Structure 1
């Protein structure tokens, strides 16, 4: 009621009402008129247009047939243009309008059937209520439905798919004692416990992680799901670089921690090969501590991308 008594007034940044021009008033009036059109009115208009287009195509066909039979002179725009504009175009519009009306009728019949199943007794036929639905309301319902589907697809379904993937991996008997978690949030912790593993890394000057590694891990761990890669202005790293560096550091740390916790008994390694693996991972971890981008830069230097670009640009 308040909105009807006190219509909305657009204000500028200074709080002054914006001037309402003649064209703006006409545009708002046209939008309001379009939103008030009902499905029943639209169906009637489409039916009238269908009849008019059919009559136009029939008259043009009749005139064209008699003109060709009489051997009349050509038109100003040419015979093909005349046929395309006065005959083919109306026929195409007739077909499209007829298809649209058929689809509306079919969907309306399905809607009426569904309404009658839900609500058995109606004061009037359900079709009359459907005919009174406004296009503005129908468009709003479509937008709301599309937004909810988009949210379900991008958030709920994605999390569900990931959960099912983890469930399959951890429920397989042949993968038990072989699955190693490599969660991207491992190195995001604000504080780490003071244990033998971390003291072992600190003895080799490989602990704690540098601030730059923490920044990269934090950026990658909080990155949302995206359809394409982005790069902030002034940042030498793009989204993929952040993810790769975080993955390299995290898997190196998790591999060392797993070997230290699970492959030692009473301070001794169970297998010399595991100790060699730990030392190799520790050497790579030291590189990352000194320069978190070291492995990424090595990977880029060995990449064949410049060579492929040169081949593509060669004449």
Structure 2
């Protein structure tokens, strides 16, 4: 292939990091002033590592480090030259391309610009969805169990020397002394020495723990008081101090709401906003008119979306999607982000339905594209003989897909 690009995201500048065979390798800050050193190694990056970088999603994996994790021979002169550069001396964290450009739209548009608008058709295949599980607040009933102040004080009680600690210490010492004085019999018993030693050791350990904990607690509380006085304005002191009177169940609810809403923001809202921005960029370019297609995994699942009335299908395409085809598409569109197929996925034949969904969706989208292209008076081509031939071939496949959505998957197995 002439132009290949796998998107990732760098954790030094927060920009798209492109593993590509043409154009800038990485991104502008990491490549522009380091071209000689990067170019000496770029063709040695393995395809599997580029794919792993593009799929390395946060929380599930830790970042890959470039160049450390990408080249086995760290004694190679080219590797050493790159590692000596300020930008790479500590390595560059590389993670999921979906953080910045999940569909690769920006990368395709850059390739198109580099070759002078040479791409005849840009197809975006998107398995993402507009759907997200609505965030719901924690509805746990707030009771009158205990206040924050009481809970904190109860916890702090463990960080002190308790009478039980030194009593245990003294008891162990007394047992050893009495055994040595033959109080328990005519001689000193080894068993009593062992028992007394264990009790003494436990007492000593607990006492030392209590002493150290007390010192740490005192230092920590003193530090917190200092920070509190320095950072909380005096007019707000009373308001802030009221938090210690809050019921602990209310505090738990507040923390739960903050945590779950933050996760929703990061995992859903943020990524969907990035997707929308990329699509806005894609469809705002007039020069890409009649040169772009978007094929989404949920296009033909028969479900209405909250963003449009009706199905949004082209009425000129016959036959309409069959119930069987819609069912396969619906199963595919519900595929979760996963590292393996579980029993439910296997039972639903999830992998093959996903492949089939991609096949019949792009078939439909190409038919839709051709019909709209032919209807456009400003279409870039006048002789549409070959386009008509392509449409007939697609139409024949479309009819087969409606009868058996998995026919091409089955055919390719032969």
Q: TM-score, normalised by structure 2?
A: 0.44
Instruction: Tell me if the contact between 1:264 and 1:270 (Cα under 8 Å) persists in the aligned partners.
Output: no
State the match for 2:265 in structure 1. Answer: 152
How has the CA–CA distance of structure 1 residues 158 and 96 changed in structure 2, closer, same or farther, with 3 Å as cutoff?
farther
Q: Are 2:295 and 1:182 equivalent residues in the alignment?
A: yes
How far apart, CA to CA, are the structure 2 residues paired with 1:270 and 1:278? Answer: 14
Instruction: Tell me if the contact between 1:263 and 1:270 (Cα under 8 Å) persists in the aligned partners.
Output: no
Deviations 1:57-106 (A, max 9, x none): 9x96xx99xx9xxx996853798x87985556776677678767877776
Report the Cα offset of residue 213 of structure 1.
0.9
Q: Which of 283, 301, 326 is matched with 1:214 structurally?
A: 326
How has the CA–CA distance of structure 1 residues 249 and 146 changed in structure 2, closer, same or farther, with 3 Å as cutoff?
same
Report the Cα offset of residue 147 of structure 1.
3.1
Q: Secondary structure at the match of 2:235?
A: coil
Instruction: Tell me if the contact between 1:245 and 1:296 (Cα under 8 Å) persists in the aligned partners.
Output: yes
Aligned pairs (5 A) from 1:188-267: 188=302, 195=316, 198=317, 207-220=319-332, 223=334, 236-262=347-373
Instruction: Tell me if the contact between 1:112 and 1:127 (Cα under 8 Å) persists in the aligned partners.
Output: no
Report the Cα offset of residue 162 of structure 1.
1.9
How has the CA–CA distance of structure 1 residues 137 and 250 changed in structure 2, closer, same or farther, with 3 Å as cutoff?
same
How has the CA–CA distance of structure 1 residues 82 and 272 changed in structure 2, closer, same or farther, with 3 Å as cutoff?
farther
Report the Cα offset of residue 37 of structure 1.
3.9
Instruction: Tell me if the contact between 1:231 and 1:239 (Cα under 8 Å) persists in the aligned partners.
Output: no
Q: Are 2:255 and 1:137 equivalent residues in the alignment?
A: no
How far apart, CA to CA, are the structure 2 residues paired with 1:194 and 1:100? Answer: 73
State the match for 2:402 in structure 1. Answer: 289
State the match for 1:76 in structure 2. Answer: 194
Report the Cα offset of residue 295 of structure 1.
2.4
Aligned pairs (5 A) from 1:80-99: none
How has the CA–CA distance of structure 1 residues 126 and 290 changed in structure 2, closer, same or farther, with 3 Å as cutoff?
closer
How has the CA–CA distance of structure 1 residues 210 and 141 changed in structure 2, closer, same or farther, with 3 Å as cutoff?
closer
How has the CA–CA distance of structure 1 residues 274 and 140 changed in structure 2, closer, same or farther, with 3 Å as cutoff?
same
Q: TM-score, normalised by structure 1?
A: 0.54
Instruction: Tell me if the contact between 1:36 and 1:135 (Cα under 8 Å) persists in the aligned partners.
Output: yes
Q: What are the ranges of 5 or more consecutive residues in structure 1 without an aligned counterpart?
A: 1-30, 303-315
How has the CA–CA distance of structure 1 residues 183 and 76 changed in structure 2, closer, same or farther, with 3 Å as cutoff?
same
Deviates more, 1:129-138 or 1:169-178: 169-178
Report the Cα offset of residue 178 of structure 1.
2.8
Q: Secondary structure at the match of 1:52?
A: coil
How far apart, CA to CA, are the structure 2 residues paired with 1:230 and 1:102? Answer: 51
Higher CA-based Rg? 1
Q: Secondary structure at the match of 2:355?
A: helix
Aligned residues: 251
Q: Which has the higher helix share?
A: 1
How far apart, CA to CA, are the structure 1 residues paired with 2:215 and 2:395? Answer: 72
Q: Are 2:276 and 1:163 equivalent residues in the alignment?
A: yes
Aligned-residue Cα RMSD (Å) equals 5.2
How far apart, CA to CA, are the structure 2 residues paired with 1:183 and 1:78? Answer: 74
How far apart, CA to CA, are the structure 1 residues paired with 2:239 and 2:338? Answer: 43
Deviations 1:169-216 (A, max 9, x none): 335687554321223454336696654xx3xxx5xxxx2433211332
Aligned pairs (5 A) from 1:20-99: 35-39=145-149, 41-52=150-161, 56=165, 76=194
How far apart, CA to CA, are the structure 1 residues paired with 2:211 and 2:276? Answer: 51
Report the Cα offset of residue 134 of structure 1.
3.5
How has the CA–CA distance of structure 1 residues 125 and 214 changed in structure 2, closer, same or farther, with 3 Å as cutoff?
closer
